[in-house]
Amino acid sequence: MSRESAARRFAVAAAALSAAAAALVGLALLAGASPLDAVRALAEGAAGSPAALGETLARATALVLTAVGASLAFRAGVLNIGLEGQFLAGAVAAAAVGPLLAGSPLAARAGLLAAAALAGALWVMPAAYLEARRGVPEVLSTILLNLVAAAGVSGLVRGALQDPGGDYPQSRALPDAVRLAPLAAGGRVTAAILIALALALFATLLLEWTPFGLKLRATGLAPAAARAIGLPRARLRLLAFAASGALAGLAGGLEVLAVTGRLYDPFTAGVGYTGIAAALLGGSHPLAAAVSAVLFAALGTGSSAMQRDTGVPGALATIVPGVLVLAVLAARARLARKAA
Amino acid sequence: MFPGEIHALLGENGAGKSTLVSIAAGRLVADSGEILRGGSQASYRNARDARHAGLVLVPQHDLLIGAASVADNLAFLDPAAPFFESAAARRARVGRLAQAFGLELGDADARADALPVGTRQRIEIAGALAGDPDVLILDEPTAVLSPDETAALFASLRKRADAGAAVVLITHRLAEVFAGADRLTLLARGRSVKTCRVSETTPQEIGGLLLTNTEGEKNFLEGVWGARPLDSRADTPGGRSQTHPSEHAAQSAATQPLPSLVLTGFAPDEARAVRAERISLSLLPGEILVLLAIDGNGADTIARAIAGLERFSGRVEVGGVPLPLSGDPLAFRAAGGAFVPADRREEGLVAALSLSENLALPNPPGSVFLDRPAMRAHAEERLRAFGVRYASPAALAGSLSGGNQQKTVLARELAHRPGVLVAVHPTRGLDLASAAAVRSRILDACRSGTAALAVTADPDEAQLFGAPLRVVYRGRLSAALEPTTPPAALGRLMAGLEG
């Protein structure tokens, strides 16, 4: 996937955009609104004002990180579908250690994010172990760990982590001094988006430009050849598992640190799954996946405005990513068959 | 192509033979031109359409369903199979086809992916013949067959041709062409160079044409080819005219007595294949041993277990270092081992990576970032040294023809002067010139101290190494044989009729 020709990329993009446009126009017509008005409302709601753009970028942060995490795993041939659970593990760790961390805000933030990344990486380890030792497909084990994580969050915010000062199923709030301040007053976007984009760039450099990345890609593309050639397949896969889990965990930690300030239930509306969709749309290319993630976030913020202004259902934000990914996968599969 | 004839398609690796027949059988789409059949245009959208129209292709690499049994695969290949068919009937088909075509098809209940390449190819051939196709195309069917099976296959093909079918046969073995085909076409670089009746030409003429049309490799080949007669079934003085590698070994043995490869009571733990008997042998630096066996007799498993790809019992030492019993390709390579697998597409190369990336594995250069200029230079040097025909080092490995892929694998494996080279079918599917080039590269490596264990199913090939041979039959090794042992005698040993 890394070496798609320009013509091929264009064909795939054309297929994806036509499918997304068809979904948008169809929904607008169903709702009895003008498709043009709907598009205008969508665009303005997503990026029409500094506040709208800020909201889009705030939402994009976690998506970018899970999309990059999914890309790293997929390129190494590791089908980590459990980014949702690893995201929750990171958020739990952040909510658990956040209120305990003393010292300078900078050190507290670093400690909190390290704990979150570590928790995400640890949450994927049972799946990595079961795959390596027992041959359990990681698609199944990671997705099941998502359910465990969701149930865990639900229990923790009503138990060990519940805020003693209230009856709500939520954890204690982080001290304001520790929380990330918005980049612009009144908005929700923080430096977290910069961390996420920097990591997307870093992941691209790692995959495409380093000896380690080449080994990782070789393992993902041809596991049997990688083994016969003498690549440390088991170690490479373990690292890919851990890196994608850590990125998803970091996304959970940043969500607590920058957006919510605490853990509650339910904490995610599928950021792990949408991250996978963004990775697929971006061909498991970390930068392209990050762009897709920002696009999906924009759809999310824009569709709320669109529903308010034109009455076109906001469910568009969930329908379009699904349609986009299906169109891209179908177009790629067709081109791959022609090339074979 | 006429009904009732066997037409041989010849040409060096990359000449376009496989591409041509894939287009004919609907597997690939033609860029231009048309295909006529029975006077009308015939282009099939896919292999299934072609099969239903009575045109069947047996590809170079079989397309069996790995997770299905032999019986099920043959049922899928049989267009006359009823929609519902009992397991007993499917099993019975295996025995019937094995009998009818004289091919050893293995256990009817074995999973196809557990079978060696040769058995899989025989299943594919039996499946193709079973449908009584009007046009039958076989892409290098004899590369994996024993001499007896080759004879049986030609008898079956002749029977099909006599029944009015047209048979196209791709092969690199001139002897087969002149023994079994009616007409031949020679391809070079995608063009048809010569088409004639086999009775109107000679092996010498065709062999000469094959060589003159491989310009790039010509100079390099003169030294390798010069003395060797074209029909390698004749006595091969060429094989002896080169320095015998074990002479080198004898010289260096005094100064460097440590063997490169030692097997002690060694046997692969392979439940699914033939269980090899415990083997003890040792190879000195520069020594070559050729294991000759029909696929399915355990020779390839022995090689894979040494290379760390299968578990084994007993003891394997490479360069004095014992290897772990659980099988560890990294330990094998760290001890100085190199491995050329039988299945170059699955295990030899990463098809979706470029040539320069493939040649840089498993240890790409660069401390922090990849040193791409170094990778490119290394790739160009290796590819040129092995006469690989390629467009650019950035071309995908999967875009090369089979023979060029094989040369690329050898270029990588011999890059770091390995102490031990284990090569399974190193020249399978290569044209005469490329095969000679690959052999001479292996012999070169041995002259500079590499010990080599080569596995082959081709008696002629085995002799051309000019090294001691051991025939493997159902996991048992014969005594060491002289490289000059007549092919007929080797064939009897391989078939288990002697020894």
3-state secondary structure of B446: helix
- For domain B239-494, the CATH architecture is 3-Layer(aba) Sandwich (3.40)
Closest by CA to B316, choosing from B332, B297, B301, is: B332
According to the model, what pLDDT value does residue A70 have? 97
Instruction: Calculate how close chain A gets to B191, using CA atoms only, in Å.
Output: 22
- Range A23-46 average pLDDT: 87
- Using the Cβ of B330 and the Cβ atoms of chain A, whether some distance falls under 8 Å is answered with yes
- Using the Cβ of B352 and the Cβ atoms of chain A, whether some distance falls under 8 Å is answered with yes
Q: How far is C-alpha B239 from the chain's CA centre?
A: 20
Q: State the Cα–Cα distance between residues A243 and A180, nearest whole angstrom.
A: 24
What residues in A contact B362, CB-CB < 8 Å?
215, 229-231
Instruction: Calculate how close chain A gets to B122, using CA atoms only, in Å.
Output: 24
Which chain A residue has its CA at the smallest distance from B310's CA? A228
pLDDT score of B43 more than 60? yes
Which chain A residue has its CA at the smallest distance from B370's CA? A210
The mean-pLDDT minimum among A165-169, B121-125, B214-218 falls in B214-218
A57 Cβ contact list (under 8 Å, min separation 6): A189, A193, A294, A297
**Residue holding tokens 């079989």?**
B62
- CA separation (Å) from B306 to B114, B274, B317, B474? 19, 16, 9, 18
Instruction: Calculate how close chain B gets to A212, using CA atoms only, in Å.
Output: 8
Q: How does the average pLDDT of chain B come out, rounded?
A: 79
- Using the Cβ of A132 and the Cβ atoms of chain B, whether some distance falls under 8 Å is answered with no
Q: State the Cα–Cα distance between residues B112 and B65, nearest whole angstrom.
A: 7
pLDDT score of B139 more than 60? yes
According to the model, what pLDDT value does residue A340 have? 53
pLDDT score of B252 more than 50? no
Instruction: Provide the chain B residues 373-432 that lie in CB contact (below 8 A) with chain A.
Output: 396, 412
According to the model, what pLDDT value does residue B226 have? 34
Q: Which long-range contacts (CB under 8 A, 24 or more apart) does A178-185 make?
A: A178/A98, A178/A101, A178/A105, A178/A108, A178/A109, A178/A112, A178/A257, A179/A257, A179/A258, A179/A261, A180/A109, A180/A257, A180/A258, A182/A54, A183/A54, A184/A50, A184/A54
Where in chain B are all domains bearing CATH 3.40.50.300?
6-213, 239-494
Q: How far is C-alpha B2 from the chain's CA centre?
A: 30
Residue of B19, B354, B361 for testing the chain A interface, max A β-carbons within 10 Å? B361
Question: Which of A213, A225, A338 has the CB atom closest to B348's CB atom?
Answer: A225
- CA separation (Å) from B46 to A133, A243, A277, B50, B103? 41, 42, 32, 7, 28
Instruction: Provide the chain B residues 2-31 that lie in CB contact (below 8 A) with chain A.
Output: 29
What residues in B contact A4, CB-CB < 8 Å?
none
Kindly give the residue spans of alpha helices, DSSP state H, lying in chain A: 6-30, 35-47, 50-75, 83-97, 105-134, 138-156, 192-209, 211-221, 223-229, 233-254, 271-281, 286-310, 316-339
- Using the Cβ of B309 and the Cβ atoms of chain A, whether some distance falls under 8 Å is answered with yes
pLDDT score of A111 more than 80? yes
The mean-pLDDT minimum among A204-213, A214-223, B149-158, B242-251 falls in B242-251
Of B268 and B233, the one with more pLDDT: B268
Instruction: Calculate how close chain B gets to A230, using CA atoms only, in Å.
Output: 5
- Range B155-161 average pLDDT: 86
Structure tokens at B75: 């049922």
Closest by CA to B49, choosing from B66, B33, B75, B29, is: B29
Interface A–B counts its CB contacts (< 8 A) at 70
Percent of chain B with pLDDT over 70: 83
What residues in A contact B29, CB-CB < 8 Å?
338
- Using the Cβ of B68 and the Cβ atoms of chain A, whether some distance falls under 8 Å is answered with no
Closest by CA to B104, choosing from B118, B84, B87, is: B118
According to the model, what pLDDT value does residue B51 have? 76
Q: State the Cα–Cα distance between residues B348 and B410, nearest whole angstrom.
A: 9
What residues in B contact A215, CB-CB < 8 Å?
361-362, 364
- Using the Cβ of A231 and the Cβ atoms of chain B, whether some distance falls under 8 Å is answered with yes
- Using the Cβ of B360 and the Cβ atoms of chain A, whether some distance falls under 8 Å is answered with yes
3-state secondary structure of B311: coil
Q: State the Cα–Cα distance between residues A184 and A50, nearest whole angstrom.
A: 9
3-state secondary structure of B423: strand
Q: Please say whether the beta carbons of A98 and A112 come within 8 A.
A: yes
According to the model, what pLDDT value does residue B31 have? 63
The mean-pLDDT minimum among A61-70, B28-37, B369-378 falls in B28-37
- Using the Cβ of A230 and the Cβ atoms of chain B, whether some distance falls under 8 Å is answered with yes
Q: How confident is the model at residue B457 (pLDDT cuts 50, 70, 90)?
A: confident
**pLDDT tens digits, B182-207:** 888 888 767 787 888 888 888 777 77
- Range A111-138 average pLDDT: 94
Q: How confident is the model at residue A273 (pLDDT cuts 50, 70, 90)?
A: very high
Closest by CA to B313, choosing from B350, B276, B359, is: B276
Predicted TM-score of the model (pTM): 0.75
Instruction: Calculate how close chain B gets to A1, using CA atoms only, in Å.
Output: 8
Q: State the Cα–Cα distance between residues A153 and A134, nearest whole angstrom.
A: 28
Q: What is the edge-to-edge ordering of all strands in the sheet holding B279-283?
A: B279-283, B261-268, B312-318, B321-322
Of B376 and B211, the one with more pLDDT: B376
Of B119 and B144, the one with more pLDDT: B119
Of B204 and A293, the one with more pLDDT: A293
Question: Which of A209, A210, A229 has the CB atom closest to B361's CB atom?
Answer: A229
Q: Which range scores top for mean pLDDT: A65-69, B6-10, B249-253?
A: A65-69
Q: State the Cα–Cα distance between residues A73 and A245, nearest whole angstrom.
A: 9
pLDDT score of A87 more than 90? yes
Neighbours of A58 (CB within 10 A): 22
**pLDDT tens digits, A253-269:** 999 998 888 999 889 87
Q: Under an 8 A CB cutoff, do B339 and A228 touch?
A: yes
Instruction: Calculate how close chain B gets to A214, using CA atoms only, in Å.
Output: 8
Instruction: Calculate how close chain B gets to A153, using CA atoms only, in Å.
Output: 40
Instruction: Calculate how close chain A gets to B145, using CA atoms only, in Å.
Output: 25
Q: State the Cα–Cα distance between residues B187 and B12, nearest whole angstrom.
A: 8
Q: Please say whether the beta carbons of B244 and B230 come within 8 A.
A: no
Q: Under an 8 A CB cutoff, do A226 and B339 touch?
A: no
Instruction: Provide the chain B residues 209-248 that lie in CB contact (below 8 A) with chain A.
Output: none
| Domain covering B6-213, topology | Rossmann fold (3.40.50)
The mean-pLDDT minimum among A23-32, A149-158, B169-178 falls in B169-178
3-state secondary structure of B268: strand
Q: Which range scores top for mean pLDDT: B34-43, B233-242, B453-462?
A: B453-462
Q: Which residues of A285-311 are buried (b: 16+ CB within 10 A; e: fewer)?
A: bbbbbbbbbbbbbbbbbbbbbbbebbe
3-state secondary structure of B36: strand
Percent of chain A with pLDDT over 90: 52
Phi-psi region of B452 (alpha: psi -120 to 50; beta: other; left: phi over 0): beta
Which chain B residue has its CA at the smallest distance from A205's CA? B369
Residue of A205, A216, A229, A231 for testing the chain B interface, max B β-carbons within 10 Å? A229
Q: Please say whether the beta carbons of B1 and B166 come within 8 A.
A: yes
According to the model, what pLDDT value does residue B383 have? 92
Q: Please say whether the beta carbons of B423 and B453 come within 8 A.
A: yes
Kindly give the residue spans of alpha helices, DSSP state H, lying in B131-244: 147-162, 174-180, 203-212, 215-225, 237-241
What residues in B contact A231, CB-CB < 8 Å?
361-362
According to the model, what pLDDT value does residue A195 have? 93
Q: Output DSSP code: residue A170.
A: B
Q: How does the average pLDDT of chain A come out, rounded?
A: 89
- Using the Cβ of A133 and the Cβ atoms of chain B, whether some distance falls under 8 Å is answered with no
Instruction: Calculate how close chain B gets to A210, using CA atoms only, in Å.
Output: 4
According to the model, what pLDDT value does residue B338 have? 93
Percent of chain B with pLDDT over 90: 14
- Range A278-289 average pLDDT: 92
pLDDT score of A223 more than 60? yes
What residues in A contact B364, CB-CB < 8 Å?
211, 214-215
Q: Under an 8 A CB cutoff, do B349 and A225 touch?
A: yes
According to the model, what pLDDT value does residue B314 have? 86
